[in-house]
A and B are shown apart, each in its own frame.
Chain A
Amino acid sequence: MMSFSAHKIYGPKGIGALFVRRKPRVRIEAQMHGGGHERGMRSGTLPTHQIVGMGHAFKIGFETLAAENTRIEALRTRLWEGVTDMDEVHLNGSEHQHVPGIVNISFAFVEGESLMMSLRDLAVSSGSACTSASLEPSYVLRALGLNDEMAHSSIRFSIGRYTTEADIDAAIAQVRVAVEKLRLLSPLWDMFKAGIDLSTVQWSAH
């Protein structure tokens, strides 16, 4: 099977597609019941206008794929290079095998949600527990091998078709200022600067 989401490549919201292999057969359970449309897999009248929109978005996506990948990868590199000279900044995930438009960075000793508060006009999210309703840090980052503290200090930046170099430069500037400001507020930064190995500290978790 393969799932497709129109809005993720600038198509309309409220439409997607599921490719289901015929041979060997895949058994799926219908989620929408009724007239048995789509060979019983998905009942309901199809929104033709949405399908056209999705199809056209895919067409544009396919035609621009190579050029866009190159352009977005360059923006991603620009963003990373704009912050990598700061102390204790780590790229999460593979450096060479990744989706070009997403970059996940940990800024050690600065908690993700507090950093997001300084980046309010940017489309970012954090792997920090504070940003999830369950107060658990991102299980994806954990699976990548990050410890909880690095997960709490992570920010995910998303780059897309309408992102410009100016946007990246503005983001870099805002991030640098915010990280510096929040490190001055951080007891962990103090301890790091004093040469203390944080993994040896006895914390009194609440």
Chain B
Amino acid sequence: MAYSEKVLDHYENPRNVGQLDENSKNVGTGMVGAPACGDVMRLQIRVNDQGIIEDAKFKTYGCGSAIASSSLLTEWVKGKHLDDAEKIKNTEIAEELALPPVKIHCSVLAEDAIKTAVRDVRAKQGS
């Protein structure tokens, strides 16, 4: 399988690997995928009172493209407002990483993950 340089880079040097306290009111968690599918992503974001994402962390069980998609996503959402973060499209991720057609679903899962995390923190804050 031929991986793009960017996918390889994220695989060798993943950004923002880790966990945030999911019980915190400022933290949104998006856990998507299933082990049976071979893809599970956990994306977490911490927002400030203005709704700006101050920190993001991820962990992924999945192929190189899945790891790269979620790693890239954590880079992209930092500093963004929740409204903008949830607008990130899988096609943007796929293009940035030059994902082949058979790996597009990895970027779709990443888009799901951020949307789920945003929904989660909004629900916690009652907004």
Contacts and interface: CB of A to CB of B under 8 A. Distances in A.
Interface in A155-206: 184-190, 198, 203-206
A114 B62 contact: yes
Contacts of A111: 38-39, 61-63, 66
Interface of A: 109-114, 117, 128-131, 133, 135, 137, 147-149, 152, 184-190, 198, 203-206
Nearest to B11: A117
Interface of B: 1, 3, 8, 11, 14, 17, 19, 31-42, 59-67, 102, 105, 108-109, 112, 116
A206 B112 CA distance: 8
A109 B60 CA distance: 10
Contact of B38 (A137, A184, A185, A187): A137
Contacts of B1: 113, 131
Given A152-B35, A204-B32, A187 B61 contact: yes
A188 B35 CA distance: 8
Interface of B is mostly: mixed
- Nearest first, the 6 A-B pairs at minimum CB distance are A203-B34, A149-B35, A152-B38, A113-B63, A130-B63, A148-B36
B64 A117 contact: yes
Contacts of A189: 61
Nearest to A204: B32
16 contacts: A111-B62, A113-B64, A114-B11, A114-B67, A117-B64, A131-B1, A149-B35, A152-B38, A185-B14, A186-B61, A187-B61, A188-B61, A189-B61, A203-B40, A204-B34, A206-B37
Contact of B59 (A113, A128, A148, A190): A190
Nearest to B64: A117
Contacts of B39: 111, 206
A15 to B, nearest CB: 29
B119 to A, nearest CB: 12
Contacts of B8: 117
Name the residue in A130, A131, A152, A186 with the highest tally of chain B Cβ atoms < 10 Å from its Cβ.
Answer: A130
A129 B61 CA distance: 13
